[in-house]
Structure 1
């Protein structure tokens, strides 16, 4: 799984309070019960990272997402500390796209490249928006997203530098 950079923490790396705030503010829901169901689904999906055979996740995060005011002080501190803990998982590569990177190919919107084991189905690109999800399997479209992913990898801070940026954000929120 390879999500592109976004101003939000990727769903697999969100705390329940953070997810609740994002869902409440950004989604049109039928009320608190639906919000809680969506938070529960998001939380359950995170088991993909902690099960005995976890998925490999490479994720990008814009530096602005580290200090974006979503939720109160507790939520902000908890989400950054959670991100720091998750970044230590051996099957997770997290890169922060620093402010200094400027314009980058991920500005067109977030996407996820879903890769499968060798010999399985070819990779697929998932693009989610407010009302739907689109899957791209065309080789030319897939190549364009993979190129974008490679450019973002080169422009983002290394995983070690990214951890330092996350630690700095955590210290500023403490």
Structure 2
């Protein structure tokens, strides 16, 4: 494998690489054996600098990380999948999400998701259908035996906005109540009367992983691009922002009661 070849050509031992890059013992060995669960472009750039490779080898290392991330069921949806969120979600042990004016994607009903996509007025019916199918496929990670813990903050305004009409939003609220019954899902509704809160105006997902070597990351989606935040200080900022916002919202039990009241 390329990684091992580069290390051995430079006469470096596994422990040498781990020590110089301040990695835990055995990390480079797992990478060389292709046992890395979350390939990191940043790790490849660190190796490129350590090994002092030319630009073509550096690009090959970065491509190696990106290719290792491109796997799984979502590959067949690449023509309608703009970002890499399914890849990141697939191995997560905990997901914290706040999506501002909408119900988070992992908790959307099919009709609600279709209504959101249809509102853009730029997608055809077939593309909308495939995008909805993709979103429903993503949600299956919550059904797995080792499903991630999901913490979702939902703005009250998202629940009162009749996206798709009364029947669609009612079905969405019923879906949220069903999902809230699961032991691995906690919902917090943040009320309008709470006023301003730390996450106001933001939309982001924080993903944590079971392997200590796989650092948390933040995924941010905009109308035209996606951003992966891997800087530890920036991630800590989002973790604190989520925590303060979650504490400003209703408890999971209170949130369920509020959802039930909307149906009445």
TM range (shorter): over 0.9
Change (3 A) 1:6 1:27: farther
Alignment of 1:25-174 (within 5 A): 25-26=119-120, 28-29=122-123, 31-171=124-264
CA distance in 2, matches of 1:111, 1:51: 23
Larger-Rg structure: 2
TM-score w.r.t. length of structure 1: 0.93
Gaps of 5+ in 2: 1-94
Maintained 8 Å contact 1:5/1:97: no
TM-superposed CA distance for 1:156, in Å, is 0.7
* Residue aligning to 2:109: 15
Gaps of 5+ in 1: none
Maintained 8 Å contact 2:100/2:201: no
TM-score w.r.t. length of structure 2: 0.62
CA distance in 2, matches of 1:78, 1:131: 29
Maintained 8 Å contact 1:5/1:106: no
CA distance in 2, matches of 1:5, 1:40: 20
**Secondary structure of the equivalent of 1:108?**
coil
**Secondary structure of the equivalent of 1:106?**
coil
TM-superposed CA distance for 1:154, in Å, is 1.2
Deviations for 1:49-100, whole angstroms, at most 9, x for unmatched residues? 1122212100000011111110122211111000011011100011000112
Change (3 A) 1:103 1:165: same
Deviations for 1:109-130, whole angstroms, at most 9, x for unmatched residues? 1100011114241100000011
Task: State the superposition RMSD in angstroms.
Answer: 1.2
TM-superposed CA distance for 1:105, in Å, is 1.1
Moved over 3 A (4+): none
Change (3 A) 1:170 1:120: farther
More relative contact order, 1 or 2 (CA 8 Å, 6+ apart): 1
Aligned residues: 170
CA distance in 2, matches of 1:108, 1:12: 20
